[in-house]
A = this chain, B = another copy of it.
């Protein structure tokens, strides 16, 4: 019989990284969490050097994600995808901004082609990006896949605001640590 389900899980240490009542009021606080998750994922050996988190604009944490591709034997399990899926479980909504609250994604690196496409269906209003695609490729060796030529404009056209290069150096430091480790998670 073929498998007819898949369970995607975050590592056990996630609970330590998110205080029970922590609030993440601004872009910097939101990205700090995403980068911290990426760094811990590498340090713990639980996945690739990527972290993501979803918040209300005011700063309530809705869900987090780290790369779990190898751990879960699943190419879907990128950080942003894990954050979308767990936040949707938390809110019990497949479109996070369905209730009208503005939703923000913070990702330690620019989303790949899959996570970029997924961002249009998850119900988000803003994207914060740390490292650029070039950084991901040059420092950690990951391909980001084919995007529309005007990928930033496509987000904006659909009402999704974008801010880039937030804590880019910190995000790059994590990519570099991973790249130099020679590990492949």
A binding-site residues for B, Cβ under 8 Å: 1-10, 14-15, 18, 20, 61-64, 69-70, 72-76, 81-82, 84-86, 88-90, 92-95, 112-118, 120-123, 143, 145-149, 151, 154
Residues of chain B lying within 8 A (CB to CB) of residue A4: 9-10, 14-15, 86
Please name 15 pairs of A and B residues whose Cβ atoms are closer than 8 Å in the assembled complex, sorted by A. Answer: A2-B18, A2-B64, A2-B90, A3-B90, A5-B7, A5-B10, A5-B86, A6-B8, A73-B88, A73-B93, A73-B94, A75-B118, A76-B81, A121-B145, A149-B149
Could you tell me the distance between the alpha carbons of A154 and B143 in the complex, rounded to whole angstroms? 13
Residues of chain B within 8 A of A122, CB atoms compared: 75
Instruction: Choose one: B6, B8, B63, B146; the contact of A86 (CB below 8 Å).
Output: B6
List of B residues within 8 angstroms of A92 by Cβ? 73
Q: Are B118 and A76 in contact (CB under 8 A)?
A: yes
Q: Which residues of B have CB within 8 Å of A63?
A: 2-3
A90 to chain B, nearest CB (A): 5
Residue in chain B with minimal CB distance to A155: B146
Closest CB pairs A-B (n = 8): A113-B117, A114-B117, A146-B154, A75-B121, A3-B89, A5-B9, A4-B10, A6-B85
Cα distance, A143 to B3, chains bound together (Å) = 29
A117 touches B90 (CB 8 A): no
- Cβ contacts under 8 Å, A84 to chain B: 74-76
> Is B88 within 8 A of A74, CB to CB?
yes
Give every chain B residue within 8 A of A9 (Cβ-Cβ): 4-5
- Chain B min CB distance to A95 (Å): 7
Question: Which of A75, A93, A148 has the most B CB atoms < 10 Å from its CB?
Answer: A75
A118 CB contacts on chain B under 8 angstroms: 75-76, 114, 117
Which of B18, B74, B148 has a CB less than 8 Å from the CB of A85? B74
